[in-house]
């Protein structure tokens, strides 16, 4: 299979590494600026570097467009004109509707275009942060209808081979959901950070006490604007809708805080939020099927996690997800381990018990 990756950053580089790991016979050509091509070759993410976009795409079976959204929109006409008739062209943009609409106008004779969005990423930027395991158990959205799905089996098979879990969504549904669960949290984090910074000018206690929940909620405020400007531009309609809806919810909170009768409503809100939030690890974080959880309490000492993971590795028990829930400085912490089957979870409990690791 001949695969082309246009854009050799974290996602493009990780795709190359993951595909080479899953199928060593695949031939991968990369296109980007010369320095990035050289880095990708050194890391083994691609087999060849193309000197032009046309040379990179003319003979490909599958083309991944791994550039910012605006650049993807610029590449689409070129890809549609010069790719083979049955080439599958897909992208990894964070918004989908505008890209899919533009592609529908271009891909009429050559190529089969389907929008894509891997729900995976890295705190770092550039090929040096590429990871062949980035897509393991990650949800990979593909915007293909039933008819298209039959034409892109080679793409979906490839995505499954690198560990991704394919979820078919329409482009409008993707953008509506992304606005609520990704774009709104980003704007909230930015707003909170800027608000507290302004208050901190008159009293430095604000940032001195900014820990725990505030740090958790505002972590994504560190995301660079360069990554977000295209998202805000190409999904502005859905983002405006969800910001308006969220503003109404906050206004309702402010109103209810004024009087005792209103404050009673918060108990139900808190309880409902807890129920929904506690359910997220079972159905989210890339997992399309419920997982089976084991809670583990460990001491705060060197090597304790190594003992845990090594014991399960030797028993060939695969941990599908791991999350640190609580930490007691100097004493220990509680982890949530998730497994694919109930039997795996029960076997894991038994194994950990033999290592004197407490499970709940």
CATH 3.40.50.620 fits 173-256, yes or no: no
User: What top-level class would CATH report for the domain 292-359?
Assistant: alpha beta
* Fold assignment, 2-169: Rossmann fold (3.40.50)
pLDDT score recorded for residue 290 = 56
Complete DSSP assignment for 165-178: EEEE--HHHHHHHH
- Please work out, in degrees rounded to the nearest 5, the angle formed at the alpha carbon of residue 140 by the alpha carbons of 224 and 2: 100
pLDDT score recorded for residue 287 = 42
Please list, in sequence order, all residues whose beta carbon lies within 8 angstroms of the beta carbon of residue 53, skipping any fewer than 6 positions away: 6, 31, 75, 78
pLDDT score recorded for residue 219 = 83
pLDDT score recorded for residue 238 = 97
Residue 155, classed as helix, strand or coil, is helix
pLDDT score recorded for residue 285 = 44
pLDDT score recorded for residue 295 = 87
Per-block mean pLDDT, blocks of 10 residues, the chain (360 long):
95 95 94 95 95 93 96 95 95 96 93 94 78 89 93 96 94 96 95 96 90 83 87 96 97 93 91 87 48 82 87 90 68 80 91 87
Q: What CA–CA distance (Å, rounded) separates 202 from 75?
A: 49
Residue boundaries of the structural domains of the chain = 2-169, 173-256, 292-359
């Amino acid at each position: 299979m001949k695969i082309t990756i246009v854009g050799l950053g974290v996602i493009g580089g990780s795709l190359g590494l993951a595909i080479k790991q899953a199928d060593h016979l695949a031939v991968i050509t990369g296109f980007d600026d010369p320095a990035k091509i050289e880095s990708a070759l050194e890391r083994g993410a691609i087999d060849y570097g193309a000197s032009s976009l046309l040379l990179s795409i003319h003979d490909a079976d599958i083309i991944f467009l791994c550039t910012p959204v605006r650049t993807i929109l610029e590449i689409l006409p070129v890809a549609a004109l010069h790719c083979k008739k049955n080439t599958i062209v897909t992208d990894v943009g964070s918004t989908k509707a505008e890209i899919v609409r533009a592609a529908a106008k271009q891909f009429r004779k050559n190529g089969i275009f389907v929008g894509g969005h891997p729900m995976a990423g890295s705190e770092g930027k550039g090929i040096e942060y590429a990871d062949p395991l980035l897509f393991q158990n990650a949800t990979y959205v593909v915007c293909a209808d039933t008819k298209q799905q039959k034409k892109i089996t080679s793409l979906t098979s490839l995505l499954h081979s690198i560990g991704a879990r394919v979820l078919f969504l329409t482009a409008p549904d993707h953008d509506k959901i992304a606005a609520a669960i990704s774009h709104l949290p980003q704007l909230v984090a930015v707003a909170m950070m800027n608000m507290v910074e302004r208050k901190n000018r008159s009293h430095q206690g604000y940032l001195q006490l900014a820990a725990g929940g505030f740090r958790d909620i505002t972590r994504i405020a560190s995301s660079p604007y360069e990554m977000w400007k295209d998202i805000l531009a190409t999904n502005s309609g859905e983002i405006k809708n969800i910001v308006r809806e969220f503003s109404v919810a906050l206004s309702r909170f402010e109103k209810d805080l004024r009087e005792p009768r209103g404050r009673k409503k918060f108990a139900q809100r808190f309880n409902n939020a807890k129920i929904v939030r506690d359910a997220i690890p079972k159905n989210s974080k890339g997992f399309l099927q419920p997982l089976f959880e084991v809670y583990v309490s460990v001491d705060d000492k060197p090597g304790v996690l190594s003992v845990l993971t090594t014991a399960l590795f030797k028993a060939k028990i695969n941990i599908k997800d791991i999350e640190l829930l609580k930490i007691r400085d100097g004493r220990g912490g509680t982890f949530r381990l998730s497994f694919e089957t109930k039997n795996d979870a029960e076997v894991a409990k038994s194994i950990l018990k033999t290592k004197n690791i407490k499970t709940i």
